[in-house]
Amino acid sequence: NPNFMNQKEVGDYILGRTLGSGTTGKVKLAVHKTDGNQVAVKIIKKAMFDVKPDLQRKIRREIALMRLLDHPHLLKLISARHLYIILEYASHGELFDYLIARRHLQAPEALHFFREIIYGLDYLHAHMICHRDLKPENILLDEFDHVKVADFGFARWMKSNVAETSCGSPHYAAPEVIRGERYDGRGADIWSCGVIL
């Protein structure tokens, strides 16, 4: 594949084009050297650990949570080595971009996406994990337009239903989260799903 010619290698993968970038680093498309499977590689800048001391703990928690998860509607962690996190590749990108391109969806299509988001979220909640940053930018679509819930940077185990940290995106966060009150993390996730719908 010409997109992967003369590109940097990470373990068994050859890095290709950039899929996206954020405050902590980039996500690149990569291909496995042997079987040709495509993955997304999250690359964290080492300098970010000096700027954001809590970042390493947050990334370790994200990796630990994702290692436990195995569900068709949650983005799959393939491996985490050094500062490279190998993730399942959702080739159709963000639900956000899908919605922008179409401006609106017919009810059956919207319900298809919503149902798959809820299936993935139910799996998380059954394992006592709340996502805490559900929004269309964190809902990815695979090649068949099946949902892959992504970005577990704010996710946490819930020993009880009560959380206190205000996090996530204000447009999708429940009122009690924005007000900085104690809140039910799972209930706050459901609120975000309602806004997405």
- Catalytic sites, residue numbers: 133
Give the largest CA-CA distance in the chain: 52
Closest Cα partner for 65 from 140, 154, 168?
154
The residue type of 165 is: T
Q: Given its phi and psi angles, is residue 167 left (phi above 0), alpha (psi -120 to 50 degrees) or beta?
A: beta
Residues 6 or more apart whose CB falls under 8 angstroms from that of 128 comprise 157, 158, 159
Q: Given its phi and psi angles, is residue 86 left (phi above 0), alpha (psi -120 to 50 degrees) or beta?
A: beta
Strand ranges in 46-160 using DSSP code E only, listed in sequence order: 77-81, 84-88, 129-130, 139-141, 147-149, 156-157
Task: Provide the CA 194 distance to its chain's centre, in angstroms.
Answer: 18
